[in-house]
Amino acid sequence: MSHPTETPSSGPAAADRTALRADCGNCFGLCCVALPFAASADFAIGKGAGEPCRNLRSDFRCGIHSRLREEGFKGCTVYDCFGAGQKVSQLTFEGRDWRRHPGTASEMFAILPTMRHLHELLWYLTEALTLPAARPVHGAVRRALRETERLTEGSASELMELDVAAHRDRVNELLLRTSELIRARIPGKKKNRRGADLIGADLRGADLRGANLRGARLIAADLTRADLTAADLIGADFRDADLSAADLRGAIFLTQAQLAAAKGDAATRLPPSLTRPAHW
C-alpha cells in the first residue's frame, strides 16, 4: 500500500546540521569529565561529575574509542552532544581548555548540559524546516531557530543563568505543531503512544505510520519490519530495541543517539541525514 512520505529538502537548513554533530577533535573531552556515570551494564566503572574518565588522554581523546563496547562502555557510544562540546570549548571559552586554565573548569562543565539542550533543539528545528508539510509554521520555526542560535552564542555567565527548560517548552510547542502537520498526512487513525510503557513489546511488523511515540519507553521492544513513516520519535527510548528491517525513512525527530542505542541490520531503512551504526 502506498502512502505519502516527507522528503527532506535541500538547501541551507539541511546543510547547517553538520554543525550539530560532535567534533571531538575540537572539544576538550567535556563529556568525559563533566558528566557522572555509575558502574552498570553501560559503564564498566563509575565516576563523579567533574572527574576525568580514566580513559581520557592528555590530548582530550578517548584511549579506547575504537573498542568502547568491548571494554564495557556502551553508554559512551550512545551519547550525542549535538555539537555542544566544541561550541563550549571553542566559542564560549575561546579555546581555553580546563587543564591549562583550571579556573574555567567548573563553569565549563556546568554549561555543557545547557548547551547540549540548546543544540538538540537546533537539530529538531532545523529538521522541521526541511519538511514541506510543515510550511505553515516555518516562519515561527525560523524565528525560534535564530533565537536558539543567539542563546548558544551567549557568554558563560549568560548561559549559567539561562532558564533552558522555559525556552525548551516554548520551542516544543512549535515542534508539536510540526509533528501534527506531518502526521496528518498519513491517512486513517494514528496511534497515540506518547510516553507509553512499551518495554519488551512485540511490535513486529507493526503499522506505526504517523504514530505519536514521543517519550515512549521502547527498551528491548521488537520492532522488526515495523513501519515508522512519519512517526514522531522525540525522546523515545530505543535502548536494545530491535529495528531490523524497520522502515525509519520518514520518521521525524529521530537522532543518531537513538539509533546507536538500538539494534538493527542492513535491511533497516534510515533517513538520509543519519548513518547506520557500526555495531549493527
Locate the domains of the chain by residue range. Answer: 14-35+79-183, 188-280
Question: Which class is 188-280 in CATH?
Answer: mainly beta
Closest listed residue to residue 164, CA positions, set 129, 122, 194, 134: 122
Read off the C-alpha cell for 172. Answer: 516544543
pLDDT of residue 107: 97
Does the pLDDT at position 10 exceed 90? Answer: no
> Cell numbers 528491548 label which residue?
220
Phi-psi map region of 273: left, alpha, beta (phi>0 left; psi -120 to 50 alpha): alpha
Instruction: Please list, residue by residue across 217-243, b when 16 or more beta carbons sit within 10 angstroms of its beta carbon and e when fewer do.
Output: bbbbbbbbbbbbbbbbbbebbbbbbbb
Indicate the pLDDT class of residue 11, thresholds 50, 70 and 90.
very low
Indicate the pLDDT class of residue 5, thresholds 50, 70 and 90.
very low
Does the pLDDT at position 7 exceed 90? Answer: no
Does the pLDDT at position 234 exceed 90? Answer: yes
Does the pLDDT at position 12 exceed 90? Answer: no
pLDDT of residue 16: 62
Distances (CA, A) of 44 to 17, 33, 37, 234, 240: 32, 16, 10, 28, 18
Does the pLDDT at position 263 exceed 90? Answer: yes
pLDDT per residue over 177-226, tens digit each?
999 999 999 999 999 999 999 999 999 999 999 999 999 999 999 999 99
Does the pLDDT at position 28 exceed 50? Answer: yes
pLDDT of residue 18: 84
Helix orientation angle between 164-183 and 138-152, rounded to the nearest 10 degrees: 150
Does the pLDDT at position 24 exceed 50? Answer: yes
